[in-house]
Amino acid sequence: MAIVENPPTQTMAEKADRHLLYQASVQNPDFELDFIDETFKEIRGRKPKTMREDFAGTAISSCRWVKRRRGNTAIAVDFDAEVLDWSRKHNISKLTDEQKQRIELIEDDVLNVSTDKVEVLQAYNFSYWFFQERATMLNYFKKAREALVDDGLLFLDVFGGSECYQTQKEKRKVDGFKYIWEQAEFNAITNELTCHIHFHFPDKSKIKKAFTYTWRVWGARELREILAEAGFSESTVYRQKFDPKTDEALDEYIATDEAEDYACWLGYIIAKP
């Protein structure tokens, strides 16, 4: 008698799409675009229309930007053809024809690309920390400044605190899976931090090292010095606020140079050309 084996079934990890998981667990484009809109209005007295997203990945922020207001345009830059293809298939395809006219994906290195000048240049999720050498960071900031109109603004994110300099794992439940952030290696001499993102599923399957990054952990003060050297006239740190009673991090950011010896703080650096 023939033995009929059950057809192999795919695990949740095998069925999952790492870019969708990344978008669901790491990114919050609406919050970030609200912050950009509100801060730009506060500083420049108007809402911006033209935006460039560097290290764009799936370009979800650019897609949300063109959906936000009819006059908005976005340029998304990434040097990885695979992620830009994914963006075309999964994100750009969901835009209307009219919205598609207002977004451009560019496959290029942010250190080389030349684009129309924009009011907002955003480089988020610490991707500019891929640049390890001060000279490279200076070069990037010079290029970023050239890409801005005279009254534009550069938006960078930044983090700090003693936990940056440690190996550690942090788990968070997201809808239908677990997100694991692993700071796997830290070199105390060079400040190089190697991090992985893993995803775990209820059926016990896993995507290990779905994404790996090696960054230099930069200090906000040094970054501001490099921004000044690149010609930016002013830069401001917007630091995450903490609940004074519970010490819990809040989704509110204030312009300040005041900070305690937080174990971990998140913030933005906003620079004026």
Ligand X SMILES: C[S@@+](CC[C@H](N)C(=O)[O-])C[C@H]1O[C@@H](n2cnc3c(N)ncnc32)[C@H](O)[C@@H]1O
**Which string of x and - marks every residue 48-67 that binds ligand X (by CB under 6 A)?**
-------xxx----------
Residue showing the smallest CB distance to ligand X in the complex: 57
* Residue 168, C-beta contacts closer than 8 angstroms, at least 6 positions apart: 182, 183
Tell me how far apart the alpha carbons of residues 205 and 208 are, in angstroms, rounded to a whole number.
10
Regarding 83 and contact with ligand X (CB under 6 A), the answer is: yes
Between residue 115 and residue 134, which ones bind ligand X under the rule CB under 6 A?
Answer: 124-125, 127, 130
> 86 vs 201, which CB is nearer to ligand X?
86
Site size for ligand X (CB under 6 A): 17
* Residue 160, C-beta contacts closer than 8 angstroms, at least 6 positions apart: 219, 220, 259, 262, 264, 265, 267
Q: Rounded to 5 degrees, what angle do the CA atoms 253, 176, 196 make?
A: 60
Tell me how far apart the alpha carbons of residues 134 and 191 are, in angstroms, rounded to a whole number.
12
Binding range to ligand X, per CB under 6 A, among 10-18, 77-85, 98-106, 167-175: 77-85
212 forms bridges with which residues in the sheet?
196
Question: What's the min distance (Å) between Cβ of 37 and ligand X?
Answer: 17
> 27 vs 191, which CB is nearer to ligand X?
27
> 79 vs 242, which CB is nearer to ligand X?
79
Taking phi over 0 as left and psi of -120 to 50 as alpha, with beta for the rest, 140 belongs to alpha
Question: What's the min distance (Å) between Cβ of 122 and ligand X?
Answer: 8
With CA atoms as reference, report the closest residue to 127 among 114, 152, 151, 144. 144
Among 30, 38, 109, 243, binds ligand X (CB under 6 A): 109
> 20 vs 46, which CB is nearer to ligand X?
20
With CA atoms as reference, report the closest residue to 154 among 195, 124, 110, 115. 124
> 79 vs 181, which CB is nearer to ligand X?
79
Between residue 14 and residue 33, which ones bind ligand X under the rule CB under 6 A?
Answer: 26-27
With CA atoms as reference, report the closest residue to 190 among 158, 169, 215. 215
Residues near ligand X (CB under 6 A) are 26-27, 55-57, 77-80, 83, 109-111, 124-125, 127, 130
